A and B are shown apart, each in its own frame.
Chain A
Amino acid sequence: MSQQASSTNGNVIIRLQGLKRFYRVGVEEIHALDGVELEVRENEYIAVMGHSGSGKSTLMNVLGCLDRPSEGSYEIDGENVTRMGDAELASIRNKRIGFVFQSFELLSQLNALKNVEMPLLYASNGWFGRSARAKKSLERVGLGDRMKHKPNQLSGGEKQRVAIARALVCNPSILLADEPTGNLDSKTSENILELFGELHKQGQTIIIVTHERDVAQHAKRIIRMQDGRILTDLTSEQDEAKSQSGGDIPGKEKL
């Protein structure tokens, strides 16, 4: 597995071509995604930024195989998922994608270990030894000693770690995090972002959707979206430089 953070090396994991997503609200057609071209290579660490309504949530849903594009094509690990049925998409989500949500989404009646085991219940080869795999995943996020705790016995940061362990348990090609620090204080946020950095170093491909600049700054590549299109796609250094120079970067006024 490549240890480089470069966007030009490594295999292409995700390829979006001319991706469009329309919604019909009454008679009006909304172009949530309006022609997105994107390549994501192995072991990239990407932040997707944009205002609400910029299309970043829709892009996230499409990347996560929760939604299907109206036009264009989407390949993940060389598999074209554009026209896949519900059942196939479900197994793609299970095998290739790990979700981390803003509000953790842990099941309150299950302990940490059982929460992490859950995706394995739906995996074709996950049934046997799932407890050991879940344990390993929890150890990876530094929660080896909190496995029997239920979510209400865990702090916010610990809950998000459990959620990350759950996202990693099936060895996904890509970790998709939607505002992963949105519900956390700044110190805990920093810890979680350090964990993402650590996972990236271990070779994990990560995409974070956020509107916070300092969260995005942890990523190696920053994609800014506006009106369903990619506005800029720069390395974090370039992005930094551009925003310093006062370029018309959306989200700047939020700083």
Chain B
Amino acid sequence: MKGLFYAFLAFIQFVYQSVYLSLSQIWANKTRSILTTIGIVIGVASTTAVIAALTGLKAKILSQVETFGNNTIIIEVRWPDTGPKQNMSWRQLRFRTEEFAGLLEHCPSLERYALIGEAGQQMVKYGEKSVQYAQIHGVEPAWHDIEHRGIVVGRGISVIDEGRAVCLIEPELRDKLGLEKDCVGESIRIGFRNFRIVGVIEKRPDLGIGGGGQERYEIIIPFEMTAKFRQEFWVWALAESKSPEVLDEAVAELKFFLRRTRHIQPDEQDTFSVESLKSAIQTFNKISIMVTLVAGGVVGISLLVGGVGIMNIMLVSISERTKEIGLRKAVGAKKSAILMQFLVEAVILCFVGGIVGVGIGQLLTLAIAHSNPLLERTYIPAWAIVLSFAFAATVGICFGIFPAIKAARLDPIEALRHE
């Protein structure tokens, strides 16, 4: 037991001594050490920045859908790839309200659904102030239970609003039109009709794609009122399964039901898509993993190049310090001590390179975050930092071991005679 303790103590001293020797050597050759680590710095900085950007993009996109539950299903029209229906116009192929009649009774796994009608962009006016384009969505009351957007003032669309000219606006539009904070009861003009405001609803988090500073406003009206703007309007639907566990059943039931109500023959393709949010996120995750792997490969190559640079410098350093190695051996340095000194030196160089790289990566990440609203959530995840360090250390060991062995094997007599 006591022997084991002393062996442990000796080991600690050995490691500490190697680190001490290596650090003093690195410090003595500052310029060269800096030049050596540049490859690693660039490698690690680019890895972390790429991973951060991808993570940020993912976080942003996930935040878009986080207003939905994880048992949400999106039902949309989709043109089939084959068959006579692939060339139909949207008017022919669009959903009709009656196709959804009796949906809940026939789909036992479904908790609720809400139809959404698109009335397009309309001009909005209040007194002297106006907004040229606002997107008008007609929704059924159940929409509030599926898309959990908070009501700031007033109330949401409810069953009593059926056929009434009422609307929900977003705070930004309210301010733009110069309405009071509590604007419930005020009337605004949408297109050629007056709508009474019953509530103010939170803005949906903005994806920012193509939205170069242009403000976008949404107005929510009761579903039935969509027809007042357009005779034939585009309809899609959101639905929710009873629980996340029966999500797949709900999707299957919906598909079966809609095929029947849309009169699709058994040999025909669906003319619609029923997709759960979960599967959409899974698809996105798959793509993002692939991009990460490709980026990781590129960055891995750059780290490899950095590693070769380190090996080269270590070899130069060893041939320069041959005499020193000879002297150290003459005064009692064992092979293992010399090996460790040079190995630790390579690893420390890589590690310091890793630290600086993560720092620069952090700066890059900040720059990326400010470059595009789509990437504003860019941050370096902890695992990326750990991975960078692990990789840097591995590169250090792999490329440091060969020069270190070379140094350890030097014959002290030859080394001392070396000029």
Give complex CA distance A87, B337 in Å.
Answer: 10
| Interface size of A in residues (CB-CB distance below 8 Å) | 27
Interface centre among A61, A110, A127 (most CB of B within 10 A): A127
A93 within 8 A of B: yes
Shortest beta-carbon distance, B352 to chain A, in Å?
A: 18
The residues of B that contact A105 with a CB separation of less than 8 Å are 323, 327, 416
Residue of B nearest to A93 (CB): B332
The docked-state distance in angstroms from the alpha carbon of A224 to that of B332 is 29
- Report the bound CA distance from A17 to B267 in whole Å: 102
Interface string of B28-52 (1 = CB under 8 A from A): 1000000000000000000000000
Question: How far is A87 from B408 in the complex, measured between Cα atoms in Å?
Answer: 11
A122 at the interface (CB under 8 A from B): yes
CA of A110 to CA of B328, assembled, Å: 13
From known contacts A105-B323, A105-B416, A124-B10, infer whether A64 and B21 are also in contact, taking CB-CB under 8 Å: no
Cβ of B280 to closest chain A Cβ, rounded Å = 61
Tally of chain B residues near chain A (CB < 8 A): 23
From the candidates B17, B20, B324, B413, name the one contacting A67 in the complex (CB within 8 A).
B413
- Residues of chain A within 8 A (CB-CB) of B13 are 127
Q: Given A105-B323, A110-B24, A127-B17, are A90 and B413 also a contact pair (CB < 8 Å)?
A: no
Question: A59 CB to closest chain B CB, in angstroms?
Answer: 13
Check if A90 sits within 8 Å of B327, measured CB to CB.
no
* Cβ A118 vs Cβ B331 within 8 A: yes
Complex-state Cα separation, A123 to B10, whole angstroms:
10
Q: Is A109 an interface residue (CB 8 A)?
A: yes
Q: Are A119 and B416 in contact (CB under 8 A)?
A: no
Q: Give every chain A residue within 8 A of B10 (Cβ-Cβ).
A: 124
Partner of A119, one of B28, B324, B331, B413: B331
- Residues on A with C-beta less than 8 A from B413 are 61, 66-67
* Chain B residues closer than 8 Å to A67, beta-carbon distance: 413
A122-B328 in contact given A86-B335, A101-B416, A109-B28 (Cβ < 8 Å): yes
CB proximity of A170 to chain B, nearest CB, Å = 8
Decide: A121 and B327 in contact? CB cutoff 8 A.
no
Q: Within the assembled complex, what's the spacing in Å between the Cα atoms of A61 and B412? A: 10
Contact string against B for A residues 92-114, beta-carbon threshold 8 Å, 1 for contact and 0 otherwise: 01110001010001010110001
Contacts of A2 in B (CB 8 A): none
Say if the beta carbon of A15 comes within 8 Å of chain B: no
B305-327: CB near A (< 8 Å → 1, else 0) gives: 00000000000000000011001
Whole-angstrom CA separation of A86 from B259 in the bound complex = 83
Q: How far does the Cβ of A112 sit from chain B's closest Cβ, in whole Å?
A: 15
| A91, CB-defined interface residue at 8 Å | yes
Identify the interface centre among B10, B17, B333: most chain A CB within 10 Å of its CB: B333
User: Can you spell out 19 A-B residue pairs with CB atoms less than 8 angstroms apart?
Assistant: A61-B413, A66-B412, A66-B413, A87-B335, A87-B336, A90-B334, A90-B335, A94-B332, A99-B330, A105-B323, A105-B327, A109-B28, A110-B24, A122-B333, A122-B337, A123-B332, A127-B13, A166-B331, A170-B332
Q: A66-B330, A87-B334, A101-B416 are in contact. List 18 more A-B contacts (CB 8 A).
A: A64-B330, A66-B329, A86-B335, A90-B335, A91-B334, A93-B329, A93-B330, A99-B330, A99-B331, A107-B327, A114-B24, A118-B328, A119-B332, A122-B17, A122-B337, A127-B13, A127-B17, A166-B331
Q: Which residues of A contact B (CB under 8 A)?
A: 61, 64, 66-67, 86-87, 90-91, 93-95, 99, 101, 105, 107, 109-110, 114, 118-119, 121-124, 127, 166, 170
Top 10 A-B pairs, shortest CB-CB distance: A94-B332, A109-B28, A119-B331, A122-B332, A90-B334, A122-B333, A105-B327, A93-B332, A87-B334, A66-B412
Interface set of B (CB-CB < 8 Å, partner A): 10, 13, 17, 20-21, 24, 28, 323-324, 327-337, 412-413, 416
